Amino acid sequence: MLKTIVQPLLAWYEENKRELPWRKEKNPYYIWVSEIMLQQTRVEAARPYFERFIVQLPTVEALAKCPEERLLKLWEGLGYYNRVRNMQKAARCVMEEYDGRLPADAAALKRLPGIGDYTAGAIASITWDLPVPAVDGNVLRIWARLTASYDDILRQSVKQRAVKELAAIMPKEGSGNLNQAFMDLGSSLCVPKGQAGCERCPLAFACEACKKGLIAELPVRKKPVPRRLEAYTVLIIRDGSRVAFRRRSGEGLLAGLYEFPNLQGHAAGEDVLAFLREQGLEPLYIERLEPAKHIFSHIEWRMEGYLVRVAALEDGQAGDWIFADIQTAEREYPLPAAFSAYTSYINIRLGPAGPGKEDD
């Protein structure tokens, strides 16, 4: 189905393409600079910055040699200064590895600092007409509407599918124009939030969202659910050569795995000592450890830790805590990676994921 849009879109582009300073000639450096500027800036706002930048730094070599202060001054007003710092790093690589000429190869372009799939596709297709797509948020919006896809375009797997489907329709000649046609269509007609100019769109004949009246609903962009923060105080409790472990509940996160005893929240040293005495232990020494965090898909643990030495226990048991030497623990009490920041203090290897899941 998508194949049928290629010729009508190319014809529309010939009639409607925007006159932009970086389109005057097929110079890969100009395309590159413009695409980096356009990552966070509208076309009209970027135009004067581009013209000034190219007059001051007309070549990759000039960019590579530019003193940082002058470079940042040229970028002043565009923000996100890492973009231009990366561009200069990439320019230096191009001087060293490619004799000052950007490589005519999307994969090689992607290895340069600050150049991702989209920018590499734009440079390679617009300059050398290589048949690679350049898929950004605008193109994903058009793709989701054309195919009436309700899949979340913020998901990597959905983006990959769109890239694959668009790569399959890249013509042998004219892929640069096709990518630019998508860019122009996305900024003039297939705009976000239900304002699309479908009645003037050259793709309306093939557009499922237009035919089914779904434009206001598409594309779907689900905001990622924020992670829940949980605070713990992790206790590495030593009784001579043994260390205390506890089995986690058989339900929920890391079910059935073992852990170091811990308290909910971030406890002060004296609270830890009082807690240990309540468990029938006799603390002899306490040392605060480095804080650590572990990220699960929906939960983030923020941990603080203490190493505590306690007087030797006769039976190696305190409540549901088991005191075991390191070898036994490695064999029988698998610890999940969430505790990796603290295992180094006792030189114990993490256990296999065991019966519970490592992620939630």
Site residues for ligand SF4 per CB under 6 A: 142, 145-146, 189-190, 196-198, 201, 203-204, 207, 209-210, 215
CB 228 to ligand SF4: min, Å: 37
CB 170 to ligand SF4: min, Å: 18
Which of 16, 13, 45, 46 is closest to 31 using CA atoms? 46
Specify whether the CB–CB gap between 310 and 237 falls below 8 A.
yes
CB 268 to ligand SF4: min, Å: 59
* Helices within 223-334 (DSSP H only): 269-278, 326-332
Q: Which is nearer to ligand SF4, 116 or 192 (CB)?
A: 192
Which of 210, 220, 203, 238 is closest to 310 using CA atoms? 238
Which of 7, 25, 13, 8 is closest to 177 using CA atoms? 13
Q: Say whether the peptide bond before residue 133 is cis (omega within 30 degrees of 0).
A: no
Which of 179, 191, 166, 195 is closest to 13 using CA atoms? 179
Catalytic site includes residue 35? yes
Q: Which is nearer to ligand SF4, 208 or 230 (CB)?
A: 208
CB 173 to ligand SF4: min, Å: 23
Q: Which is nearer to ligand SF4, 142 or 178 (CB)?
A: 142
User: Which residue out of 25, 35, 230, 278 is catalytically annotated?
Assistant: 35
Q: Which is nearer to ligand SF4, 158 or 215 (CB)?
A: 215
Per 3-state DSSP, the chain is made up of helix, strand and coil in percentages (nearest 5) of 45, 15, 40
The residues that are catalytic are 35
